[in-house]
């Protein structure tokens, strides 16, 4: 509850992204790659079609260089549609802009996963929550779904898992 208070107080694009992750279980790379065109607000759905990651740039002759790439998720199961809670749709409508804009900035510039993880750490520090990484949002979402009786097979599909055992573990 404390984190939700921090996120909803003076909400900006980044805080909305963390809130979205908490209520959908999306991965940080999926969040960073999201553009407004991935939302179907009329039908309360979010389409996950791509992910962002920083990888070694072997093409420039130096092993120490890295680059950001946006690609399809690593498995077909990760390409999915996620139902959105209505209050998330309402908040999204306040921020929604150009379909090509990244949701974390509202512009054509993205925020990379490491930056988003650092912002998340600052939010949890601000609300005195125990230190956690961004992935904890995914686990929190899954745990809350199980607690309210969400069917595990459906939860597995929402999370983009290849099989139910991954979800159960």
> For residue range 28-49, what is the model confidence (pLDDT) as tens digits?
999 999 999 999 999 999 999 9
Q: What are phi and psi of 82, to 5 degrees?
A: -120, 130
Residue 120, pLDDT > 80, answer yes
User: pLDDT tens across 48-74, in order?
Assistant: 999 999 888 877 666 678 899 999 987
Say what the pLDDT of residue 62 is.
64
Residue 81, pLDDT > 70, answer yes
Hey, what are 102's tokens? 């990244």
Task: Say which residues have a Cβ less than 8 Å from residue 11's Cβ, sequence separation at least 6.
Answer: 19, 91
Rounded to whole angstroms, the Cα distance separating 151 from 56 reads: 39
Rounded to whole angstroms, the Cα distance separating 112 from 9 reads: 23
- Using pLDDT thresholds of 50, 70 and 90, give the confidence band for residue 155: confident
CB 16 within 8 A of CB 84: no
Task: Say which residues have a Cβ less than 8 Å from residue 59's Cβ, sequence separation at least 6.
Answer: none
Single pTM value for the model = 0.92
């Amino acid at each position: 509850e404390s984190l939700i208070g921090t996120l909803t107080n003076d909400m900006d694009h980044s805080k909305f992204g963390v809130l979205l992750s908490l209520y959908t279980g999306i991965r940080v790379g999926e969040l960073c790659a999201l553009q407004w065109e991935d939302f179907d607000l009329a039908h309360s759905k979010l389409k996950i079609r791509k992910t962002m990651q920083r990888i070694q740039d072997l093409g420039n002759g130096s092993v120490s260089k890295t680059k950001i790439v946006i690609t399809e998720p690593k498995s077909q199961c990760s390409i999915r549609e996620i139902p959105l809670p209505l209050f998330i749709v309402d908040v999204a409508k306040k921020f929604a802009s150009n379909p090509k804009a990244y949701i974390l900035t509202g512009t054509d510039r993205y925020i990379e996963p490491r930056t988003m993880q650092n912002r998340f750490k600052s939010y949890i520090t601000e609300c005195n929550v125990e230190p956690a990484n961004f992935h904890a949002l995914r686990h929190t979402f899954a745990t809350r779904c199980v607690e309210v009786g969400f069917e595990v097979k459906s939860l597995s599909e929402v999370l983009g898992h290849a099989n139910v055992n991954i979800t159960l573990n």
